Structure 1
C-alpha cells in the first residue's frame, strides 16, 4: 500500500522531533515495546503505526498526540518552529547589548532584499528599535 502525502508529513514530523530531542530510534522502540528494526520500519512508513502506538510515541516524546496530526496553513509540518524560536531567543538574551546591536544590524542586512510585507515590517521595526 503506497504511503500518502499526509502520512509522509506525519512520519517526517515524528522523525524530526525525535532528532530534535536527541532521542535514538532505540529509545522510541523501547517506548513502543518493539525492536529497533520494527520501529525503523514504522518510522519509514513500511509498517503502519496503530493509534495505541501513536499514544505511546507521544508519551515517550512528551508531546500531545495531536501534535503529529495538525497541519499548518500550507499543509506543511510545524516541526521545530517553537524550538528554533526558543533557541534564537536564548541566543539573543545571552549576548551583550553591543552584540545584540550587531545581530540586529546583521539581520537587517540579510533580510533587506526580501519583499514580503511581514518581513519588511519586521525589518523596519528592528531598525527603529536598534537606533
Structure 2
C-alpha cells in the first residue's frame, strides 16, 4: 500500500496535472462566456482533451497494481486467494520442483495482460507521455 501512496498516486497526479496545463485558458474562457457550466466545461471540454494523459496514467496505475507482490504475499493467507504475482513466486521455492523454463513461462503469461493493454492503447499512451513532458 505504501507504494501507491509514495509513488503511484503522486506520479499519476503530476502526469495529469502536466496534461491539464496544456489546455489553453482561452478555450475555458470561451466556454464560460458561451454559458457553459463548470460540469459541462469539465466533461465536454477538459476530459476529451485530457484523454491521452488519463490513458497514460491508467496504464501506469494498472501496471503498478498488477505487479504488486508485497501486498499480495502479506495479505493472502491461502494459496486459493493469492494474486497472480504472489502465486508466481511459489514456483521458485524449496518445496517446488519447477525448473527455470516453467518459471519463465509463468512470468511471460503473467506479463501478458500489461503488454496487451499497452499494445491496445499505445497511441493514447505515447500521446499522453509526450504531452505531459512539455
User: TM-score under structure 1 normalisation?
Assistant: 0.32
Q: Which has the higher contact order (CA 8 A, sep 6+)?
A: 2
Please state which structure has a larger fraction of its residues in helix.
2
User: Under a length normalisation based on structure 2, what TM-score does the superposition of the two structures give?
Assistant: 0.32
